[in-house]
């Protein structure tokens, strides 16, 4: 199951967020919004792929809460949905917009 970052008033600050990203060997973060149907659809695709990539940590973060805006700016999130991958704390890939299953699989293959 994808771990949730910064939801339910969990006011994770920039430092804590960055710590989670840098502590993970490989991770994917899905930035999404409840009002964005494409982001909700993409989240389901990512959840299906999670089992194929046990070496990648999967995180989800809703972009709407005000306390999350600074984190989104720090990570070049232009809007939901955005997928960002990191290896050893270094961003490897960012994509804004819907990706198909095979495209996400390709991205994950490059970070695992």
Which residues fall within 8 angstroms of residue 7, CB to CB, at 6 or more apart?
Answer: 60, 61, 62, 65
pLDDT tens digit sequence for 17-64 = 778 888 888 999 999 888 889 988 998 899 999 999 999 999 888 887
**Chain-centre distance of CA 82, in angstroms?**
7
Q: Which fold has domain 3-111?
A: Glutaredoxin (3.40.30)
Closest CA to 75 of 3, 18, 5, 6: 18
Boundaries of every domain in the chain: 3-111
**Chain-centre distance of CA 51, in angstroms?**
16
pTM for the model: 0.84
Q: Return the percentage of the chain with pLDDT > 70, whole number.
A: 87
């Amino acid at each position: 199951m994808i771990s949730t970052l910064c939801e339910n008033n969990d006011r994770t600050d920039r430092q804590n967020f960055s710590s989670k990203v840098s502590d993970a060997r490989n991770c994917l973060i899905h930035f999404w919004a409840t009002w964005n149907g494409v982001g909700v659809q993409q989240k389901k695709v990512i959840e299906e792929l999670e089992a194929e990539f046990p070496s990648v940590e999967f995180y989800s973060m809703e972009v709407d809460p005000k306390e999350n805006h600074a984190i989104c700016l720090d990570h070049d999130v232009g809007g939901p949905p955005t997928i960002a991958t990191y290896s050893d704390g270094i961003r490897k890939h960012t994509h804004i917009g819907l990706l198909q299953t095979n495209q996400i699989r390709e991205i994950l293959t490059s970070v695992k």
